[in-house]
Amino acid sequence: MSAPQEEIRQVVEPAIRSAGLVLEDLTVRGGKHAVVRVVVDLPEDSTANIGFDQIDSVTAVLSELLDNNPEATSALPHYTLEVMSPGAERKLTAARHWKRSRGRLVAVVLSSGKNLEGRIVSADDTSVELEVSGGDSNMLRYDEISHAKVRLELDKPKTRGQRGQEPK
């Protein structure tokens, strides 16, 4: 049995966009007792965190949509719908992820093997500006980056590197 990911995507993606969110990922795993996992995020021009109320609201809408469109899930005898955000320590794999993470601390491994940690000052479609220790600034092209992820900060500074940060 093939997972009906595309059928489900066609049903849920317009509703996610209408809610002001972006469909980050959609996976279907399992057979008899499948899990339909939907990862949603805010648009790239927002640096705010997605709220539980937004997740709850879009979950209710998607659940109703899937119930009203049984052809999308007909290949799944039983399934559980999980709707979530990318998480606090998300991997940065696309330009929109970097844009969404402006002001956040990130750990970066360059293609050369060098490790960097810095705060995202700005990001565009091809590169990112990181403020590293000592206040130095590094411009990095995405094709120079092997992998990167947001670092969880419990005592996030309020002033450094937060240009473009939205008020909470």
Q: What percentage of residues in the chain have a pLDDT greater than 70?
A: 90
Radius of gyration of the chain from its Cα atoms, rounded to whole angstroms: 18
Domain with CATH 3.30.70.1350 in the chain: 5-84
The rounded mean pLDDT for the chain is: 89
pLDDT digits (tens, 9 = 90+) for 138-166: 999 999 999 999 998 887 655 444 444 44
Res 22: pLDDT = 96
88-168 CATH, one of 3.40.190.10, 2.30.30.100, 3.30.70.1140, 2.60.40.1180: 2.30.30.100
pLDDT beyond 70 at 125: yes
Alpha-carbon distance values, 58 to 46, 65, 83, 84, 163 (Å): 18, 10, 8, 10, 30
- Mean per-residue pLDDT for 80-88? 94
How much of the chain, in percent, has pLDDT values that exceed 90? 77
Q: Which two tokens stand for residue 69?
A: 């469109």
- Residues 30-53 pLDDT 10s: 878 999 999 999 999 998 989 999
Output the pTM of the full model: 0.79
> What topology is assigned to 5-84 in CATH?
Alpha-Beta Plaits (3.30.70)
Convert the pLDDT of each residue in 100-123 to its tens digit.
999 999 999 999 999 999 999 999
